[in-house]
Structures are given as structure tokens and as C-alpha cells.
Amino acid sequence: MIRRFQIAILSILLLASLGVEPVHAEAGEDAWLRYAPLERVERAQYESLPTSVVVLADSVVLKSAQEEVIRGVKGMLDEALLSRKGVEARSIVLGTLTSLRAAAPGLPPPPDTLGTDGFWLLTGKIRGLDCLIVTSDTDRGVLYGVFALLRKVARGEDIALLNEVQQPSAALRWVDQWDNLNGTIERGYAGASIFFEKESVRGDLTRAGEYARLLASIGVNGCSINNVNADPRIIDDKFLPQLARVADVFRSWGIQLAVSVDLGSPQVLRSLNTFDPLDPRVIAWWRTKVDKIYQQIPDFGGFVVKADSEGRSGPSSYGRTPADAANVIARALKAHGGVLFYRAFVYDHHLDWRNPKNDRARAAYDIFHPLDGKFTDNVVVQIKYGPIDFQAREPVSPLFAGMRNVNQGIEFQITQEYTGQQRHLCFLPTMWKEVLDFDLHVNGDHTPVRDLVVGKVFHRPAGAFVGVANVGMNPNWLGHPLALANLYGFGRLAWNPNLSAATIAQEWARLTFGDDSVVVNTVTAMLLASWHTYENYTGPLGAQTLTDILGSHYGPGIESSERNGWGQWHRADNQGIGMDRTAATGTGFVAQYPPAIRDLYESVQTTPDELLLFFHHVPYTYRLHSGKTVIQYIYDSHYEGADQAAEFVRQWQSIKHRLSDHLYTDVLTRIDYQAGHAIVWRDAICNWFLRTSGIPDEKHRVGNHPERIEAEAMQLKGYAVVEVTPWENASGGKGIACAKNSTCTASFHSDRPAGTYDIDVQYFDQNNGESKFRVFVNDLKVDEWVANDHLPATKPGGDSSTRRRVSALALRPEDEIRIEGTPSGDERAPLDYVELHASTK
């Protein structure tokens, strides 16, 4: 570490002595707020920028705004702005409209209403001096204006003449964290909680403050900090001072603190023998509790509730409805201006899978639609974008069209639970945009989801965007440097859902990596291709992500969806695949949509291919609109997806010299792994469908791997053959594991012509040991490594399968290739196969 630091310092000194600035793109904890120095040419256009910054009133938020301008201008333009109390010279002026009017009575009114969080950027004269004004009705709006201004500079935009108003589309733009009090995070893939450790709020909340700054920069205004599977202790009286400390670090960034609460709290925390929401003692309990919270946190945002879902307690225990429960708590919050988010993710996870009429997709609508009009106006019903659960492809939830007299919020998942867990590149704004742009045709009108969720269509007082973020202590917040584009994209879409995915990708790449257009364009192209690529190798035609839904939600697990009560069924058998959700013959789910959409999905002919299997059960030989059969599509899309994942590696390699070594290697390691894991996915799904359908791949790829040598077919010393379950998650259904406590070997002789080869060693890297591997060609050691990744697996299978590439080896016929594996703990140096490819180098 120290050595690396010394080298970094030396290279900076060296570059400085040469008068050269380091220009290589970097990422890291500053994320998109790096304020990297602009190139000289671009900097020139900001020469006439004011040299001081004036804040018209005292407030913690305005102070943040002022410090941010100073920080941004220093970083990008190397100018030290002076902070002033009054306008004495050309200045950047920050303040609310009211204070601005007092300072500059002659100022015209803004060209548009600003709303609570909107802002106005304006170049104008104050006391005859040219000023750059950032104003709003609220301090928070000024802060957002400052970030927008700095974004313009970072992107080299002209700011000489500004007169621009921006308002957010939704009043509530929140992120949820699923952090547990012990510091773990449910479905978090980037280290420990930034909020909690050892059953308490962390002593050092520096990261929480930095997170608040990141969130503010994209216009997020609320954050619920604990798991929706809530620990009742979060609102124990003893805990409230700790929550107040988090609220303190959030406050200066305009972020309202919220928490998730367990409906059983009145019973668990105090010896009430009930949590029946309509029991007067329970009503009083919530009121007192909420009052106490507001005594300590006057700007508290509110609560998030997950109830009657996945084993959580809920109103159904007392025959009460979600509205009964929500309203009791919401009324207590209302007195203080707080909001209650009640999640519509309520379903029975013990559904009888034998009954073809049962359908988990129906649950949210069946339960909440009848409650339309029954929630108080500070309740937001928080609806996942699709009717199942954050899958890589789902139709939009019909509930967005089904509740006219209730505030709605849309819930997206920034943390990539079902979309590669930040080990796979998957830029989600592309998917979110499809959801937001989807026209549900309420009353036959143009009613895209983006208008429904913000309350525009049904004239609701509030609307919300919620993103489950799950950032952690990992320096770059989400683990994968490119995954931060998802957090950025969430905030930008919550602010303005009309932005395109391409604009967001490009903006993010530019802010994060600087102004090298080759880097920006390459990264943008990778981001934009990534969701569809992921979908291609993980789940076809709307059959959902074919992952292990009973365990990690990570690698392939095709049958884990079936024959259990969770209801993520795809109903694949040896004749066909898909859920019949039609009104005529299926579960009737389609009838939950407005007529135009119902008709679209009711008919197999008009259902778009990408959702075919979500709505219909069809034979494998069914022909898609493209003319391809379903089975051939499954094969082709998985091969295309894996090929595209390999392409990401080449794209990233093509910009190597423009990136810092650290960034290059960090991302390369991940996308190289992804390319390997995409092959694991491809093979598992293709082989499973080949065996199940009995229909061969027209292109003869599936099941044919002439370049592959199965480990179980090698000469083994100490290694034993093991069956892998499910079988499709290992090549040939088998692997080998070292049965001794010392080193085992697996070897074979090359039967290829003399040449240069890349050797891919496919092995299993479990998280319960750190096996060592060494590769020899004859007696020459050509590679060695330790299997010490932390993949979500304790046994050989689709979650742990990974590969090591040994590049550019000269091989002669009959050369012996030998792999030595030394087990560690329960990880028995397991291997799946080796492939020899003519080298590309």
C-alpha cells in the first residue's frame, strides 16, 4: 500500500516537473463529483466567470451550496472563489427568491414557477454588476441549482447567458437502503453499512455525509436508511438520539431521514399484547412514538412499511387492510409533515404451484386496487416497476393505472440483486426508461408511467420515485466502478424522466471520467448495450431472470423457480414454456390492465416477443414475430449475449492508455469475469433447454464444445469426480474436487496443432476456502493464482463457476498441460474444464 502511494506521489512529481497534467480517467469515491480539471481550451470559455460567491442568508444548506461552488470551481478551473456576504463585485449569488428580491428589487420574475425544489439559473445585473444567480423558493432548490451549474461547467457548456428554470418531476425522490443494524446489508454488494455497525449507528458518519452530498447532487431528497425487513429496535426510544445523528449529517444536504418500521413494533417494543392497527392503544402508541421522533428530528421524513410480505407481520393478522394500517401511522406523521410509504409488494409466498390459475403477478393489484381512495393523502403506495420482483424483464405493473385516488411511487432497484450483483455490467436506466415511457392508455389517453407515478394523470398531491440503492463502505459505493451510473441515472430520471438513457450515460461518463471523448463514447456504448446483453444471457422473452431464486439470486438456477410457492414460475416443460396469464385461458392477470393494454397482451399474436413468455405458454416450436422459433431464439440470444459480454472486454481494452492503471485493471477484472460467467449462463440455459425440449440448435453450438476438455476426462491424481447440482451449472454436469488434504493434479495432452493458444481454466471459487492453482506446460509453470474471490457460493455450481485465462502459450502436439490444485477449508480446488483457443494476441 505504502509502496503504491510512493509510486503515485513520484509520478505526480515527475509529471509536475515536466509541466504535464495527468489526464487519465479515474473513478472512485468522489464518483461523478470529481471536478477534474478541464482542458485549457475548455477552461478559457469560463474566464469571465465571477470571482466571488455571495450567499444571501445563513443556513446549513446554503452553506453547503456555497462550499460546493468553491470546491467545483477550484477543481475544474483552478480558480479560488472568494466568499462574500454582500454583492460588491461580479458574483455568483446564491439565495432564495425572497432574499434575492430584497437584494435586487428590479429583478424580473422567473419565466416559470419553481415549485418546492425547482431552481432558476440566471445571468443578470445586481446593482449594476454582472452576476450569475442561482435561486429557488427553498434553500434546497438553490443547492440543486448549484449542482446543475457545476454539471454544466464539467461538461464544458456555455454559461455566459443563462435563464433556465428546472423543476423536478416528482416531489418525493427517495432512496431506500436495506441496511441491518449489525452492519450487513440485505442484497448489498459493496461492503458493510455506512450507517450501522454492532447494533448501533456508526460512531463515524463521514461516509453517510458524503453519501448525502452525492444524493443531493442528483436531486434526491429523502433516504430511508434501514432494511424494509425492519428491526423494531430502529424506533426504540433509546435509538432515537442515534437516528438524530444521521439526520444531522443529512440535513446540510437537504436529505430527509426516514426509516422502515415493522408493523409489529407496538407489540415488540412495549408490552402491548397487540399491534392491531385499529386498536386505540396501538393508535396512541404510534402517535406518541412519532411525536417523540419529531421532538428529536424536526425535519424527519417519515416511514417505509413492508407488511404481510415474505413473513413480515401485517394488518392481515387482524383482518385489517393495508389502508387501515397505513392510515393510522400516516395520521400520526401528518401532524408533523411526514410521509408514509406503504409498499405494494404484498403477496403470498406459499402459493399452490399446482393450481394453474394461481399467479403471484396478480397480488399487488388484487390487494391494492380495491383500496383505491382509502388512503390518507400523506400515504404513498410504493409499487415495484413490474408485478413480480425486479426481474431483468417484466411488463410494467398494472397497478400504476389501477389507483386513481392514491399517491403512487415507483420503486426501482439500483442495487443489482437480479441483474448481476455489481459483478456484471448492467446499466439499468435503459430498462427504467422503457418502463417510464410505457403508455398504459388509461381512459384511452396517452398516459405513460412517468406521468402516472408523479401524480400528473390523476391530479394527485404527491408522486414518488424510490430507488433501492444499498451503497456500502466500498470506496466507490457500489463496488463496480461502472455501477455508479445506475445511482446517478436513478436520481436524474427521478428529476427528469424525459431524459434519454443515452443522455444519462454520456453525462455520467463525462462527469466521472473527464472530457476524453474516446473514453466517454466507449463507456457510453458499453453502458447502453449492457442491460439487453444481460437479459440475453440470463432470461429469454420475458420468462424472467432464470436465476437461483431460492438462494443467491445470482447464477443460473432454472428449475429453482418451479414447484414451490414463491410464484416466479416460467412453467417450462418438455413441450413448451411460459405462464398463461390471459383472461381467456390463463390466470387473468392481463385483465388488470386498461383495455388497450389488456388486448395487446391477451393475444399471443400482438404480445411483443420480449414479453411473450410472461403472458403465454407456447410450444418451443412457436414462431416469434422475427420468424425464429422460441427454442432457436433461446439458443441464439444466449450466444449473442455471451459474445457481447466478450465484446465489452475488447472495448475496455481499446481505451487502456486513456485510463488510470487502477481504474483500467479494476474494471477489466470485472468485465473479464462477466464474460466468463456469461458463458456459464449461456451453457446452463442452452443445455437445460436442449435436454428438456430435445430440439437441437440449428447452428450446432449447444452441447458441442470441441475446444473443451472436461476435467472429469483428464488424468486425475487425488482428484475425484463430483456431481454438480443442478447439473446444467457445470459442463457435462460434473466437476472434480481434490479429495486429499494436499495438492491434487489433473492433466491432459494437447491434441492441437503446434501454435499459440489461450488456455481458459474453468474452476469454482467458493467463499469457504482459498484454494491455490498452478498450471504447468510440461514442467514449466505458466500461471498460478489463489481462488479468493467472494462469490456467493459454498459449493461448486453456477454461482461459483469462474475462469482464469492463461494467454499466449506456445503449445506443441502432445505437450502435457497439468493443473495442480491445493484445497483450503471446504473449497476442494474444484475444476470444471479447460478450453484451448487459438490465441488472439
The set of catalytic residues is 310, 389, 417
Q: Give residues 292-311 in contact with ligand GCW (rule: CB under 6 A).
A: 306
Which cell numbers in the block locate residue 26? 479515474
Quote the DSSP letter at residue 540: -
CB of 564 to ligand GCW, least distance (A): 14
Find out whether 508 and 488 touch, Cβ atoms under 8 Å.
yes
CB of 345 to ligand GCW, least distance (A): 5
Single out the residue of 43, 84, 101, 187 in contact with ligand GCW (rule: CB under 6 A).
187
Cell numbers 387492510 correspond to: 321
Q: Kindly state whether residue 345 participates in binding ligand GCW, applying the rule CB under 6 A.
A: yes
In the complex with ligand GCW, the residue whose CB is nearer, 347 or 748, is: 347
Single out the residue of 186, 197, 348, 439 in contact with ligand GCW (rule: CB under 6 A).
186
Phi, psi of 818 (to 5 degrees): -130, 135
In the complex with ligand GCW, the residue whose CB is nearer, 391 or 687, is: 391
Instruction: Find the radius of gyration of the CA atoms of the chain.
Output: 28
Which cell numbers in the block locate residue 707? 475446444
DSSP letters spanning 396-460: PPTHHHH-SSSEEEEEEE-S-TTTTTTTS---THHHHHHHHH-B--GGGS--BHHHHHTTTTTT-
In the complex with ligand GCW, the residue whose CB is nearer, 390 or 833, is: 390
Which cell numbers in the block locate residue 583? 383472461
Find out whether 397 and 386 touch, Cβ atoms under 8 Å.
yes
DSSP letters spanning 647-714: HHHHHHHTTGGGB-HHHHHHHHHHHHHHHHHHHHHHHHHHHHHHHHH-PPPTTS-TT--TTEEEGGGS
Q: State the DSSP H helix or E strand holding residue 479, giving kind and residue range, or none if neither.
A: none
CB of 174 to ligand GCW, least distance (A): 15
Contacts of residue 475, defined as CB under 8 A and 6 or more positions apart, other chains included, come to 28, 29
CB of 183 to ligand GCW, least distance (A): 16
Cell numbers 390466470 correspond to: 587
Q: Kindly state whether residue 452 participates in binding ligand GCW, applying the rule CB under 6 A.
A: no
Report the candidate in 387, 368, 365 with the shortest Cα–Cα distance to residue 379: 368
Contacts of residue 40, defined as CB under 8 A and 6 or more positions apart, other chains included, come to none
| Position with the least CB separation from ligand GCW | 389
Q: Kindly state whether residue 390 participates in binding ligand GCW, applying the rule CB under 6 A.
A: yes
In the complex with ligand GCW, the residue whose CB is nearer, 282 or 469, is: 469
Single out the residue of 117, 262, 389, 815 in contact with ligand GCW (rule: CB under 6 A).
389
Q: State the DSSP H helix or E strand holding residue 124, giving kind and residue range, or none if neither.
A: strand 119-126
CB of 544 to ligand GCW, least distance (A): 12
CB of 638 to ligand GCW, least distance (A): 24
**Ramachandran bin of 216, using left for φ above 0, alpha for ψ from -120 to 50, beta for the remaining angles:** alpha
CB of 2 to ligand GCW, least distance (A): 40
Quote the DSSP letter at residue 827: B
Binding mask 255-294 for ligand GCW (x = CB under 6 A): ----------------------------------------
As to burial, measured by CB atoms within 10 angstroms (0-12 exposed, 13-18 middle, 19+ buried), residue 233 is middle
Single out the residue of 417, 515, 636, 820 in contact with ligand GCW (rule: CB under 6 A).
417
Q: Give residues 202-231 in contact with ligand GCW (rule: CB under 6 A).
A: 227-229
Q: Kindly state whether residue 566 participates in binding ligand GCW, applying the rule CB under 6 A.
A: no
Cα separation of 231 and 209, whole Å?
23
As to burial, measured by CB atoms within 10 angstroms (0-12 exposed, 13-18 middle, 19+ buried), residue 445 is exposed
CB of 187 to ligand GCW, least distance (A): 5
In the complex with ligand GCW, the residue whose CB is nearer, 228 or 761, is: 228
Single out the residue of 178, 303, 342, 614 in contact with ligand GCW (rule: CB under 6 A).
178
Q: Kindly state whether residue 348 participates in binding ligand GCW, applying the rule CB under 6 A.
A: no
Neighbours of 814 (CB within 10 A): 10
As to burial, measured by CB atoms within 10 angstroms (0-12 exposed, 13-18 middle, 19+ buried), residue 165 is middle
Residue ranges that bind ligand GCW, judged by CB under 6 A: 178, 186-187, 227-229, 306, 345, 389-390, 417
